[in-house]
């Protein structure tokens, strides 16, 4: 079954169960036991619901699309259909107004599948980068590491050790922008800082 078929199946069984008179929560884990002691029809429905939920869990674990509710520290929750949790989070970031920052902003987002109340929330970390300064005549930057400008050692100019990672310095040969790239093995794996060599007043931090 596809994600949308599983979705429709779960919704159909859930509404059928909700229409059955019951004094217990049909979504609760102990609902099955309650249903078992209630009547056979409800018990059958509940078993079908559990099977469909398990199939949807497996479908998601294999990277399949489904419906996600996404939120961050704010109270805004948005629902996205037919996507993965990562795609839903990317869309949430694209839909939001995060303002202009002069350094990388890390957003921690949470995604939940409303059809799977027992599944843990997904936590997705997204780096929101400021715009890179434009190069001359709207060309792409030409990043290089001339030792006279970036320093370092001859065999590997502009590269230094940094904790468990490395710092790389590069300069654009067209506009003079300087890029400072920090790579670590931590949860926030990579940062790039770009500043204008000429004035050194603007600092931009980006992430690859
Ligand atoms: Zn440039």
Closest CA to 143 of 87, 192, 80: 192
Interval between CA 113 and ligand 1 midpoint (Å): 43
Tens-place pLDDT, residues 133-176: 788 877 888 889 988 888 899 999 999 887 777 888 888 888 88
Interval between CA 122 and ligand 1 midpoint (Å): 38
Interval between CA 132 and ligand 1 midpoint (Å): 9
Measured CA to CA, the distance from residue 149 to residue 22 in angstroms comes to 75
Q: Is 135 helix (H, G, I), strand (E, B) or coil?
A: coil
Interval between CA 125 and ligand 1 midpoint (Å): 29
Tens-place pLDDT, residues 76-116: 899 999 999 999 999 999 998 888 766 667 788 999 999 99
Interval between CA 100 and ligand 1 midpoint (Å): 21
Interval between CA 28 and ligand 1 midpoint (Å): 58
Interval between CA 197 and ligand 1 midpoint (Å): 11
Interval between CA 176 and ligand 1 midpoint (Å): 6
Which residue stretches of 62-173 are H helix? 85-95, 147-150
What is the reported pTM? 0.67
């Amino acid at each position: 079954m596809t994600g949308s078929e599983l979705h429709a199946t779960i919704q159909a069984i859930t509404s059928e169960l909700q229409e059955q008179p019951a004094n217990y929560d049909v979504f609760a884990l102990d609902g099955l036991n309650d249903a078992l002691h209630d009547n056979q029809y409800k018990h059958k429905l509940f078993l079908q619901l559990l099977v469909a939920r398990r199939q949807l869990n497996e479908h998601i674990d294999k990277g399949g699309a489904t419906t996600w509710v996404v939120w961050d520290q704010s109270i805004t929750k948005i629902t996205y259909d037919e996507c993965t949790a990562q795609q839903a989070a990317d869309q949430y970031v694209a839909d939001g107004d995060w303002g202009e920052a002069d350094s990388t902003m890390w957003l921690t987002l949470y995604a939940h599948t409303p059809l799977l109340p027992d599944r843990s929330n997904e936590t997705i970390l997204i780096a929101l980068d400021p715009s890179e300064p434009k190069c001359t005549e709207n060309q792409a930057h030409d990043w290089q590491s001339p030792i006279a400008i970036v320093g370092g050692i001859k065999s590997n100019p502009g590269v230094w050790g940094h904790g468990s990672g490395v710092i790389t310095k590069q300069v654009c040969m067209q506009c003079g922008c300087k890029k400072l790239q920090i790579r670590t093995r931590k949860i926030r794996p990579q940062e790039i800082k770009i500043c204008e060599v000429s004035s050194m007043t603007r600092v931009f931090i980006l992430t690859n």
